[in-house]
Amino acid sequence: MLKNESLQPMIAAMIENIEKVIVGKREIATLSTVALLAGGHVLLEDVPGVGKTMLVRAIAKSINAQFRRIQFTPDLLPSDVIGVSIYNQKEMQFEYKPGPIMGNVILADEINRTSPKTQSALLEAMEEGNVTVDGVTRPLPRPFFVMATQNPIEYEGTYPLPEAQLDRFLLKLKMGYPSLAEEIDILNRMENISPIEELQPVIDVEELLSLRQSVKKVYIDERVKRYIVEIVQRSRSHASVYLGVSPRGSIALMKAAQAYAFMHHRDFVIPDDVQLLAPYVLSHRIILKPDAKFDGISAEHIVAEIVARTPVPFQR
Amino acid sequence: MEQSRTKKFLLYLFAFWLLWEWLMPLETVSDTKNVGVFIAFIAFCFLLSFLQVRFWLAACLKLGYIFYAVNHLFFHAPFFSFLWMPKLLQEVIDHIPIIAHFRWIEMTDVFRSFLFFLLLWMLTYLVQYWLFIQRRILLFYATTVAYVSVLDTFTAFRGNGAIVRLVAGGFFLLSWLQYEKLPGTKQYKKWLFVCTASISLSIFAGYIGPKLVPQWPDPIAFIKRYTQEAEQGTSGSSVKKIGYGNNDSQLGGPFIADNAIVFTAEDKQDHYWRVETKDIYTGKGWIARDDVQIQTFADENNVHRWFEDGVKKEVLTAKVHTAQPYTYLIYPEGLKKVKGPEGVVFRLQVANEKIYPTDRESYIFALQEYELTYEYPTFSVEQLKAARPLTDEQMLKRYTQLPESLPKRVRELAQRIVAGKTTTYDKVKAIEQYFHLNGFVYETKDVAVPRGKQDYVDQFLFETKKGYCDNFSTSMVVLLRSLHIPARWVKGYTSGQWISKTDDGKNVYSITNKNAHSWVEVYFSGIGWVPFEPTQGFSNPYEFTQPVSEVKPAPAQQSPHSVEKRTKLNDVLRGEQVSSTNWKDKIATMFDWRTIVELMIGCAAIAWLLYRFRRKWWPYITLWMFRQKHGNELFIKAYVSLLRHLKDYGLKKKEGQTLRQYAAYVDEWFGTKEMSQLTNLYERAIYRNENVDTEWNKIKELWENLIKRTAS
């Protein structure tokens, strides 16, 4: 995270709130907030038990929003997600039974375990901001923030998300295991009552929506835009990359950078914001060539390399 | 806090030690005594700085120390009586003209010590500045090493211990200062270990390693051979400037003759103008006999004669007009009469034949104009050849005096030169000729001074073979004396430059400092003192008549003009530039190809130096330029120029580095926050398109500080 920059007080309070529950993951908390402010969604890629659910719940509680959880299984149907119309015999008409997606903060657990059909139902909802059941389009509540998780270890019987779908997540984060001291701290906190129960909201949904409006006003200079595009374009011509970042990736990077600048009391984006967010925004949008994968090169490596080589604009 | 105090103390110890290494050799290589007093002074200065005594108090204490030490060393007065104060003040006042006229040699020890204290005072500040502010000591350290090694090589000082100390301590200090400058977290113990290990390893290797014998010839002899002149500079005998001096006890050294006119003479014949003669050769030069016998004559010289009756003489008169009044007479050999102002009596000092004009109470009476009557001799070679050896024991003893220290080879050389010659005259001529034939060179600049026990004549005859009249004439006298031929050394002037002719047929000569000369007189029984001229480029003005039967080219009888010409020719042959009054020539010489090439090389060298050291001066130009500039968006230009200077300094911004990352790096390097502050403002200007002109004026100082830092 950037040094010597204070956070917006509301944001600071929110991150602090999350940190009460999730120990030693300030970076994840901050980046999740970036996605929340930028109106994007987060893909959490990690093994079970590191606190993914806790994180999402903590975010939901902090913004005083409705939290929903969908556990994806192979037999889950799209209607199990977006809801279904049932014939009400008393009323003599079909009645919409909302699915679990009708919430503010959704945890889509193990999203790669379900069939592509169900996956796309969710992702479509994420992209469009509404669901269509039986020809009736129903708007999703605002804000609508999805944190999907996937387990990178067990591939048996999974349906890996296709590139086009991955693209819809603003950020891909990895939580990782806590350190020794952090884990001891976790045990200490869990001894009595889980801290999640005591969490108090710091902002409400309305405030969050107005913050989102402010984020959109953060100034981004031509030079910085050009810098973003240059980084993205370099990903397309990189020798180890099979498929580079799409323009949607450029937009995502810009929006994330705006949110990040806003969080840090700035009404303009600097290249530092772009550099810092690029790995999280771009890595999951790159498909590596098989031989690069074979060489052990990861998408994160490539993004880091591109960022290190792209000249930072600093002159008029 | 405690840590930094210890560190500081250690640094002060190092500072003291470095200066101490400078002072230690002084006792051996110079006439400095009581070095301890000075060492204590630098220790005192550093102690005061370490204790952070206020400047004015420290200055008072140091001055007090200086006064106390000076008083203790020189005046020995009770300190609090303050009796020394007027004395010291007087010293200072007395030295103002001495310093103003660069007469360093006249400085007293008191004042020298006083100045030395002040110098040390300044040096302590300088060393502190290097160690604590600049944090770089390499230059001073290298100078110290050079100083010790030069002293070790060229003087009696043995610097073995000093060199080992300097290598060990100096490298430690250098690496320490470098370590302090490193940014980021520092592993003190690791550094200490690596540093100590590598230094001790290298010292150990140096200690046990085989030592080669000197690969070059002894630098002293080597340098001496090529830079005799420089060597003489250090021996204390400075370049002589005046044509005629009184003290001849230390001959040798370069000689610059000037063209100041000493006197003009109206005369019929050309001859030497004598001033005095000296007859005791010391091995280094000439001194007069300690004999106060004076002979007085009114106008007719009836007290002293130079020629016996048998010599053919012509009585001539001459008028002398000196440029300024002289207390002694300049006269030709054979002087008979002097016509000066009324009432002047002439006193001839028998020991050196110097004639002083005095009044009747024997007060010196400086004369500027007088008329001389003298007997101009013509020597018959036949007569000279027939002269019998001198029998007067006393005279023989006096004029064949030689120092005991005269090397044997001089006597042997004399024997060799005269081998086969029977008559005294032939021997004398053989020796006179010897100087014309055996590779002797007339030289006024590159002339050696005998060092230590070396004999002046021996050095000239066998080693240098380069010199001017003193070398030639002294050598001839010594050679003659070693053959028991009575001879003496005479000083005066040559006949000078012919200027014009008077109406009564006399020649007018102008005699300048350049014409100061020394020559040889040999005593022939029945004839008297006969002058000889061994010096290259000069010829004997006296006439020697040959017997008709002997066909031999007459010794070059040259008019004064040709004497001058010959000298000048010699000058030209030696490559001296005859000063050209023609300005066209001068310009032509200025623009010859060599000058142009030299100029170009010089310009290139200067350009290279300027480029090489641009870091030292360019930042100040930038500062100056931006102080002059006004207008919008100055900050952006200033910031970009700062980036350039930082790059020159060695802190280059990488391509992918953002300004913030770079600023953090720069700030960490300098230990500041200035770059980050500037960068925050610059970000607003560049990524937000904000007009920051007002903020720039507030923050300008930070920018200037950073620019200055890049110059250090």
pLDDT in tens, B167-188: 888 888 888 887 777 766 667 7
Q: Where are the alpha helices (DSSP H) in chain A?
A: 9-21, 26-38, 52-62, 78-82, 116-128, 163-166, 180-190, 195-198, 205-216, 222-237, 247-263, 271-282, 290-294, 299-309
Distance in angstroms (rounded) separating the CA atoms of residues B186 and B668: 13
Is A307–B684 a contact, with Cβ atoms under 8 angstroms apart? no
Q: Name the minimum distance, in Å, from the CA of A18 to any CA of chain B.
A: 28
**Residue A312 confidence (pLDDT):** 92
pLDDT at B592: 62
Which residue do the tokens 């992702």 mark? A123
Asked whether A272 and B658 are in contact (CB, 8 A), the reply is yes
Q: What average pLDDT score do residues B245-263 get?
A: 75
A221·B689 Cβ contact <8 A: yes
pLDDT over threshold 70, residue B364: yes
Contact A4 B683 (CB under 8 A): no
Test A2 with B660 for CB contact under 8 angstroms: yes
- With beta carbons under 8 A apart, name residues in chain B contacting A269: 687
* Burial classification of residue A305, based on how many CB atoms lie within 10 Å of its CB (0-12 exposed, 13-18 middle, 19 or more buried): middle
Question: pLDDT tens, A151-189?
Answer: 877 767 788 887 777 888 999 998 888 889 988 988 888
Mean pLDDT calculated for residue range B340-361: 81
> Which of B654, B676, B683 faces A270 most closely, judged by CB atoms?
B683
| Strand ranges of the sheet holding A67-71, from the earlier edge strand across to the other edge | A67-71, A105-109, A145-150, A42-45, A171-173
The alpha carbon of B109 is separated from its chain's Cα centroid by a whole number of angstroms, namely 21
Contacts of B655 in chain A (CB under 8 A): 309-312
Burial class of residue A9, CB neighbours in 10 A (0-12, 13-18, 19+):
exposed
In angstroms, the CA B411 to CA B408 distance is 5
The span from the CA of A11 to the CA of A262, in Å, is 10
B678 and chain A: CB distance < 8 Å anywhere?
Answer: no
Mean of pLDDT over chain B: 80
Cβ contacts of B640 on chain A, cutoff 8 Å: 315
**Which residues of chain A neighbour B676 with C-beta distances below 8 Å?**
4
Share of chain B above pLDDT 70, in %: 87
- In the predicted model, what is the mean pLDDT of residues B513-526? 86
Separation CA B300–CA B373 (nearest Å): 9
| Domain-wise residue ranges, chain A | 1-74+103-214, 217-316
Percentages helix, strand, coil for chain A (3-state, rounded to 5) are 50, 15, 35
Residues of chain A contacting residue B683, judged by C-beta atoms under 8 Å apart = 268, 270
Give the span between the Cα atoms of B350 and B352, in whole angstroms. Answer: 6
Comparing alpha-carbon positions, the chain B residue that sits nearest to A231 is B656
Please check the confidence at residue B198 and state whether its pLDDT lies above 90. no
Closest by Cβ to A316, choosing from B654, B659, B686: B686
Which of A22-36, A286-300, B44-58, B221-235 is predicted least confidently? B221-235
Q: Tell me whether B658 touches chain A (CB under 8 Å).
A: yes
Do A312 and B655 make contact, defined as CB atoms within 8 angstroms?
A: yes
In chain B, what residues touch A308 (CB-CB under 8 Å)?
654, 656
Preferred mutation among B653, B655, B658 to probe A, highest tally of A CBs within 10 A: B658
Question: Residue B566: its pLDDT value, please?
Answer: 43
Three-state DSSP at B315 gives: strand
In the CATH hierarchy, which fold is given to the domain comprising A217-316?
Helicase, Ruva Protein; domain 3 (1.10.8)
Retrieve residue B50's tokens.
Answer: 């370490």
Q: Is the pLDDT of residue B598 over 50?
A: yes
Q: Give the number of other CB atoms < 10 A from CB of residue A254.
A: 23
Q: How many helices (H) and strands (E) does chain A have?
A: 14, 11
Give me the pLDDT at residue A245, please. 92
**Which residues does A contribute to its contact with B (CB < 8 Å)?**
2-4, 219, 221, 223-224, 267-272, 275, 307-316
Q: How many alpha carbons fall within 13 Å on the CB side of residue B86?
A: 2
Collapsing DSSP to helix, strand or coil, B14 comes out as helix
Vertex A26 angle, CA A23 and A32, to 5°: 110
The H-or-E segment that residue B498 falls in is strand B497-501
- CB burial class (10 A; 0-12, 13-18, 19+) of residue B235? middle
Q: Which letter does DSSP use for residue B461 in this model?
A: I
CA distance B207 to chain A (A): 50
B588 falls in which pLDDT band (50, 70, 90)?
Answer: low
Is residue B24 over pLDDT 50? yes
Q: How far apart are CA A162 and CA A78, in angstroms?
A: 17
Identify all chain A residues contacting B660, using CB atoms and an 8 Å cutoff: 2, 270, 272
Within 8 A of B656 by CB-CB distance, chain A residues are 275, 307-312
Q: Give A262→chain B minimum CA distance, Å.
A: 13
B636 touching chain A per CB within 8 A: yes
Would you call B687 and A271 a contact, using CB atoms and an 8 Å cutoff? yes
- Residue pointed to by tokens 């000066």: B340
- Closest partner residue to B658 among A221, A272, A316, by Cβ? A272
Give me the CATH topology for the region A1-74+103-214: Rossmann fold (3.40.50)
Nearest to A173 by CA among A284, A60, A63, A48: A284
Closest CA–CA distance from residue B186 to any residue of chain A (Å) = 21
Where do the H-state alpha helices sit in B217-262? 219-226, 228-235
Q: Which residues fall within 8 angstroms of residue B710, CB to CB, at 6 or more apart?
A: B615, B619, B642, B645, B646, B648, B649
pLDDT in tens, A24-75: 888 888 999 999 999 999 998 888 888 888 888 888 888 888 888 999 988 9
Ramachandran region, residue B87 (left: φ > 0; alpha: ψ -120 to 50; beta: rest): alpha
Q: Length of chain A in residues, anyone? A: 316
Q: Which residues of B touch A313 (CB under 8 A)?
A: 686
Q: Which of B636, B660, B684 sits opposite A316 (nearest CB)?
A: B636
What residues of chain A score a pLDDT lower than 50? Answer: none
Q: Report the pLDDT value the prediction gives residue B553, as an integer from 0 to 100.
A: 47
- Copy the structure tokens of residue B580: 């050209």
Whether residue B632 lies within 8 A of chain A, CB to CB, comes out as: no
Chain pair A-B, CB pairs under 8 angstroms:
55
Distance to chain A for B1, nearest Cα, Å: 27
Query: Tell me: the pLDDT tens digits for B141-154?
Result: 888 888 888 888 77
Residue B117 has pLDDT above 50, yes or no: yes
8 Å CB contact between B321 and B368: yes
Task: Check the CA dihedral B678-B684-B689-B692 and report its sign.
Answer: negative
CA distance A19 to chain B (A): 27
